[in-house]
Amino acid sequence: MLRSLAAVVVLTVGLSISPGAGQSTSGPRASDAVVTGGSTSIQLLQPVTPSIAAVAIERVLKAARVRYGFEMPPVDPALAPVDLATISGQLIPLGGRTLADALSVISQAAPGVRWTEADGIVTVRSVADAAGVLDQGLAFYSVSDASPRAALEALVHAMDPLRPKDVGFFGQGRPGVGAMTPAGAATAARNITVTLGNTTVREVLQTIAKLNGALSWQLTYDGKTASIDTASIAFDADGYVVTASSPASQRALQAAAKALPFAGRPQPGGTRIPTSLPMSLQLGDMLGAYASMTGVRVGIEQLPAVEQSMRSTLTATLPQLDLSGLDAAAALTRIVACDSRYELSESHGRFLVRPKAGAPGRLALLDQKIGQFSAVDEPFSSVIDRLGARLGAVTPRPPSSGRAGSPLARALETPVTVAVSNGATIRDTLDAVADATDWSWSFFPQLNPGSPTTLMIQWRGPSFFTSTLIRLTEDLSRRRLP
């Protein structure tokens, strides 16, 4: 029966695919397009993980402004997509290269990634042949005058006939001929008519993209396995996007909604439990962002930062961190797992993130015994400055900090009552002050070789923050840190 279907094919598109350098044609190849921007506009961060490679691939494909197909690698959301402890300062510039050159650089650094070109469409694959969805056989695929959404619905039905219609679809895609793009220009996209038998998912995707004339596709695996159950497919036709989300992602959303009714939406208190979080090269930035969004109380003790210019140089885009369906403890555990130098603990509803014992550069400043420290109805600004003075010389807060009558000014004037025992450490006292105000704190040492070390203790409230700047008498970068 399947063989007889070949007779009903009304349109067959040549799908012979060339080696990685692209197909041989007399005209220009899509892969000859230049990745727009300067050499540092897109960079490949070292060492390369599957997630870092996927982000770089997506960025160069879009920056080259070509039609493409991209099968992303399956990634276990429970595993950190990158270990910030291993990130080096080495970056490979991708901007300004041809797309062929940029993709070749990425594929050499990320085993398993390979790319081809056919019919003016550049296709990048991240899963071995026959191991994912693209090589799955389809008995029959047929559409008539189909928009991108209709073409995608028909493909999903051919892949998974038992999946309920319309479930998990987002966006309408571009309507018929004559539509305008979001930028207001006429689109080259066309509705398609095609019937294919004895085909594969990849061949159908290639045919849809070719006949539409302006469509790119992306296949994402929502889990650690590459299967129909985890495969989400998105079509982008001149900026009009339609997505068929996988059954696995639908189940995850339902579980998250049941476990966390306000996940991804404002809670009555105005906070938001994020379902994902942009990764940063500094763990403290990620933790601070999560604490600000959720109101979770977190004390963050960071390793010393050396040369702020280095931080601004490492501009490579990192992947999003999946936090869907996670409560605070699980979310913070996943965030901290992104840097193997740190550990997480919890006590009385407050979380502490600090460098592990033996982590290179770990400071013992907050382990110092503070002696007696107390305050009775003392303004918050005075309390945190006195506390900072136990470490070094406190820099006066600028007059512009907290203009009179502003929420921050009122917060700085809030009376604080706190007392700690003689055996308490400076870290214990930071927690005690934070508990008295329901704020969170972050400790940022800044090494400046040749100059005394500076410290910053940042205090974050519900919608604002303030800092205590402290100058030490010693240049800690000159001595071996424990």
Please give, one letter per residue, the 3-state secondary structure of 200-246: EHHHHHHHHHHHHCCEEEEEEECCCCCCCCCEEEEEEECCEEEEECC
Instruction: Note whether 149 and 280 are same-domain residues.
Output: no
If asked whether residues 100 and 159 sit together in one domain, one would say yes
What is the structure's pLDDT at 118? 94
CA angle, corner 62, sides to 29 and 195, nearest 5? 65
User: Are both 247 and 120 inside the same structural domain?
Assistant: yes
Count of other CB atoms within 10 angstroms of residue 189? 25
Q: In the listed set 355, 375, 399, which residue is the last one of a domain according to the structure?
A: 355
Assess if residue 266 is contained within a domain: no
| Measured CA distances, 255 to 146, 155, 220, 228 (Å) | 34, 27, 20, 20
Residues 381 and 288 both lie in one domain:
no
Q: For residue 267, what pLDDT is reported?
A: 46
**β-sheet bridge partners, residue 210:** none
Query: Does 24 reside within a domain?
Result: yes
Task: Quote the longest CA-to-CA distance of the chain.
Answer: 89
Among 231, 259, 287, which residue terminates a domain?
A: 259
pLDDT average per 10 residues of sequence, the chain (482 residues): 33 36 59 87 86 93 95 90 82 91 95 94 95 94 93 95 86 57 62 94 96 94 93 91 91 70 46 76 88 88 66 60 86 94 90 92 89 92 93 83 73 91 90 90 87 90 84 77 52
| CATH number for 337 | 3.55.50
Assigned domain for 66 exists? yes
Residues 79 and 217 in one domain: yes
The whole-angstrom separation of Cα 243 and Cα 30 is 25
Write down which residue in 200, 226, 259 finishes a domain: 259
- Asked if residue 32 belongs to a domain, the reply is yes
Indicate whether 285 and 394 sit together in one domain: no
Residues 382 and 336 occupy one common structural domain:
no
Question: Residue 12 domain-assigned?
Answer: yes
Could you give the CA distance from residue 481 to residue 447 in angstroms, rounded to a whole number? 12
53 and 158 in a single domain? The answer is: yes
Is 15 domain-assigned? yes
Question: Taking Cα atoms as reference points, which of 217, 191, 233, 24 lies closest to residue 123?
Answer: 217
Task: Report how many domains make up the chain.
Answer: 3
Number of alpha carbons in the 13 Å side-chain half-sphere of residue 110 = 29
The pLDDT assigned to 371 comes to 85
Verify that 224 and 105 share a domain, yes or no. Answer: yes
If asked whether residues 74 and 126 sit together in one domain, one would say: yes
Q: Are residues 347 and 371 in the same domain?
A: no
The verdict on residue 268 lying in a domain is no
Query: Does 236 lie in the same domain as 191?
Result: yes
With respect to residue 418, please indicate whether it lies within any of the assigned structural domains: yes
Residue-range definition of the domain harbouring residue 306: 276-355
In the three-class reduction of DSSP (H, G, I as helix; E, B as strand; rest coil), residue 170 is classed as: strand
